[in-house]
A and B are shown apart, each in its own frame.
Chain A
């Protein structure tokens, strides 16, 4: 029995080493690219960092809570539009709300982030409160359907560009930084990712994390100790939606553009792919998954128009053969749960 304990420990230690290597790699490659004057590499790294953030958000619901949400693009899109709407009003000097109080738009990132987080949380609260009345396959289908509802709404609602999306011509500002400089924007996104990962690491060890984790494994167990599994899951879903919305705001700022495509079910699928590819319920699983996905997209896409076939095959192999995802494979720690 003690042998098994040591195994868990050494696997955990190795996972930490892998996490540090991953984070260092994601931090250092853009730095190298900066010296080597390869700004596009920095853009790719920024994309990876932001997608990793979105995946980290989903991982709270999916990995810790066992909630297979196939509609997380909703929150990603809401974050994107929070940025787009605020910035476009600021850009056009057109107040967001005229009455009862005048609320101006803003191009100040911290405010945009807060609004994105709140909007994502509120949407997650409503969708979660409805969807969590069910579980299992129902939950998957319902979240997918809600995602589709938002997608169609975004396309057909004329006020903010409809299918054309919302273009912001200048990236929003952050005090003390020139956000248009790729390396500085990368640093900002990377810092946000680190903060969220730190928060996430704390969350996993917190009483809430412990309870949520137990609720995933046995609903009866948390009920029997007097906790409401519905509330635990709803809280996880809201947190998860809020973080994914923050990622959406950063993503829209990276592209200086918010579009209904951010709501699409394919994007929900892709966010899920980051999480699974890297390893469910692992702190840096989404990070590993996002980095690999962006690299695949870039290099495989360069090889063949039909690169989705290879992506599909790879995904199939990971699901069928490597249950713990890439990090599980590397750390020799099988599945994170189950």
Chain B
């Protein structure tokens, strides 16, 4: 549970361009900084801090704590942030299950919650809340885009697999929502499973023409390495999570050429993104990841709202957030009625630049894509 207060040096205020906010805003970030999933949380945090630093705005005070990827710790930290730190805005949670534990209670207590990563369907549909904003995606989005891409690529018979947990089920549902071809086979694997020999054998025997998989973290690394070794040559499609900058180096050659869907890539051509990629590399000495871009956008969204309204006036501040008047690194970005993004989702291909594995955008899967649950939301 690292606590990091950001008191920014006055020297940075040279670059202040935003009008000074009426009152300071305290942001509590609960994210995963230790354990196996720490890489994602660290990127969100770093992206967020970079945006604050680049803005030079000293009125945003950030408190960061580590949830250890445990729901009960996350809830405890949310209580602490609200009760002791008296934060105005909460953000930072990576995992859907932690978000489900924290978000409803936090928004019910009148706090704003801005999600930099998780977007469970329950919070996008019936469970939506006026104070909950998702700056990343609804969980289904990238899978839906993968389904759309599979149609464009002419795949007629997909084999699909995901871990047996809610996000995994959402993934396969999301893919099938847009994919029009046949399903050659559908497998739910065990969460945390590291050996996919049995599944790959079934893929080989299924006669499919493509494989869609959603296996976040180490599961995806294991799957891709084993898939490449098996000699089953059908093309792979997946959401960006298994092809992210942080994880891609561990997959290596096995990922080369794989198509994946993402709302961001480092080669999106706009000034905000260029500045982001350059300053991130300068600051941290590594390429930014998807998660870093989401953290960066989240901070900029808050900063933009701070310039328009005081956080003490919840209605005005909410209206300012809804406008989403900031330069997103993704280019166009706006909120749907349920406070989830409406954005383009791209198809990327894994390439090798020198020694580094990375992604390049090869097309757009879905334009101005919103999620499927907005209609259920009564906002």
| Residues of chain A having any CB pair with chain B under 8 Å | 38-41, 43-44, 47, 152, 155-156, 158, 161-165, 167, 169, 182, 251, 255-257, 259, 261-262, 297-298, 301-302, 304-308
The reply to whether A40 and B169 form a contact with Cβ atoms under 8 Å apart is no
- Chain B residue numbers with a CB within 8 Å of A262 are 72
Q: A164-B97, A302-B2, A305-B34 are in contact. List 19 more A-B contacts (CB 8 A).
A: A39-B83, A43-B76, A43-B83, A155-B164, A156-B165, A158-B166, A161-B166, A162-B165, A162-B169, A164-B96, A167-B105, A169-B104, A169-B108, A255-B72, A255-B101, A261-B70, A302-B1, A305-B2, A306-B34
The reply to whether A43 and B72 form a contact with Cβ atoms under 8 Å apart is no
Q: Shortest CB–CB separation between residue B90 and chain A, in angstroms?
A: 14
The reply to whether A255 and B3 form a contact with Cβ atoms under 8 Å apart is no
* Bound Cα distance from A308 to B73, whole angstroms: 15
How does the 8 Å CB contact mask read for B69-108 relative to A, with 1 for contact and 0 for none?
Answer: 0111001100110011000000000001100110011001
The residue on A at minimum CB distance from B78 is A255
| Residues of chain B having any CB pair with chain A under 8 Å | 1-3, 33-34, 38, 66, 70-72, 75-76, 79-80, 83-84, 96-97, 100-101, 104-105, 108, 120, 122, 164-167, 169, 188, 190-191
Cβ-defined partner of B165 (8 Å) among A155, A301, A304 = A155
Q: Shortest CB–CB separation between residue A311 and chain B, in angstroms?
A: 12
The residue on B at minimum CB distance from A41 is B84
The reply to whether A156 and B76 form a contact with Cβ atoms under 8 Å apart is no
- Chain B residue numbers with a CB within 8 Å of A165 are 71, 97, 100-101
The reply to whether A164 and B165 form a contact with Cβ atoms under 8 Å apart is yes
Listed A/B pairs (9) with beta-carbon separation below 8 Å: A155-B164, A156-B164, A162-B165, A164-B97, A167-B100, A169-B105, A261-B72, A297-B1, A305-B34
* Bound Cα distance from A305 to B68, whole angstroms: 10
The reply to whether A155 and B191 form a contact with Cβ atoms under 8 Å apart is yes
The reply to whether A251 and B72 form a contact with Cβ atoms under 8 Å apart is yes
Name the 6 nearest CB pairs between A and B, nearest first.
A301-B1, A163-B165, A40-B84, A39-B83, A255-B75, A156-B164
Cβ-defined partner of A256 (8 Å) among B84, B105, B191 = B105
Of B1, B188, B190, which is in contact with the most chain A CB atoms at under 10 Å from its CB? Answer: B1
Q: Shortest CB–CB separation between residue A119 and chain B, in angstroms?
A: 20
* Bound Cα distance from A7 to B71, whole angstroms: 46
* Bound Cα distance from A165 to B165, whole angstroms: 10
Cβ-defined partner of A43 (8 Å) among B2, B66, B79, B165 = B79
Q: Shortest CB–CB separation between residue B274 and chain A, in angstroms?
A: 31
* Bound Cα distance from A298 to B73, whole angstroms: 10
The reply to whether B34 and A40 form a contact with Cβ atoms under 8 Å apart is no
The reply to whether A39 and B84 form a contact with Cβ atoms under 8 Å apart is yes
Question: Chain B interface secondary structure, helix, strand, loop or mixed?
Answer: helix
The residue on A at minimum CB distance from B105 is A256
- Chain A residue numbers with a CB within 8 Å of B169 are 158, 162
- Chain A residue numbers with a CB within 8 Å of B96 are 164
Q: Shortest CB–CB separation between residue A190 and chain B, in angstroms?
A: 18
- Chain A residue numbers with a CB within 8 Å of B191 are 152, 155-156, 163
Q: Shortest CB–CB separation between residue B100 and chain A, in angstroms?
A: 5
The reply to whether B76 and A255 form a contact with Cβ atoms under 8 Å apart is yes
* Bound Cα distance from A306 to B33, whole angstroms: 10
Of B2, B38, B76, which is in contact with the most chain A CB atoms at under 10 Å from its CB? Answer: B76
- Chain B residue numbers with a CB within 8 Å of A305 are 2, 33-34, 38, 66
- Chain B residue numbers with a CB within 8 Å of A261 are 70-72
The reply to whether B66 and A257 form a contact with Cβ atoms under 8 Å apart is no
Of B3, B33, B105, B108, which is in contact with the most chain A CB atoms at under 10 Å from its CB? Answer: B105
The reply to whether B101 and A259 form a contact with Cβ atoms under 8 Å apart is yes
Cβ-defined partner of B120 (8 Å) among A43, A158, A164, A302 = A164
Q: Shortest CB–CB separation between residue B194 and chain A, in angstroms?
A: 14
The reply to whether A259 and B2 form a contact with Cβ atoms under 8 Å apart is no
* Bound Cα distance from A81 to B305, whole angstroms: 40
* Bound Cα distance from A256 to B108, whole angstroms: 13
- Chain B residue numbers with a CB within 8 Å of A47 are 76
* Bound Cα distance from A165 to B100, whole angstroms: 8
Known: A255-B76, A256-B75, A305-B2. A167 touches B83 (CB 8 A): no
- Chain A residue numbers with a CB within 8 Å of B2 are 301-302, 304-305
Q: Shortest CB–CB separation between residue B331 and chain A, in angstroms?
A: 31
The residue on B at minimum CB distance from A308 is B34
- Chain A residue numbers with a CB within 8 Å of B1 are 297-298, 301-302, 307
The reply to whether A301 and B66 form a contact with Cβ atoms under 8 Å apart is yes
* Bound Cα distance from A162 to B83, whole angstroms: 30
The reply to whether B71 and A257 form a contact with Cβ atoms under 8 Å apart is yes
Q: Shortest CB–CB separation between residue A275 and chain B, in angstroms?
A: 19
- Chain B residue numbers with a CB within 8 Å of A308 are 34
Q: Shortest CB–CB separation between residue A196 and chain B, in angstroms?
A: 21
The reply to whether A163 and B75 form a contact with Cβ atoms under 8 Å apart is no
The reply to whether A162 and B3 form a contact with Cβ atoms under 8 Å apart is no
Q: Shortest CB–CB separation between residue B107 and chain A, in angstroms?
A: 10
The reply to whether B71 and A255 form a contact with Cβ atoms under 8 Å apart is yes
Known: A164-B100, A257-B72. A40 touches B167 (CB 8 A): no
The reply to whether B166 and A163 form a contact with Cβ atoms under 8 Å apart is yes
Q: Shortest CB–CB separation between residue B108 and chain A, in angstroms?
A: 7
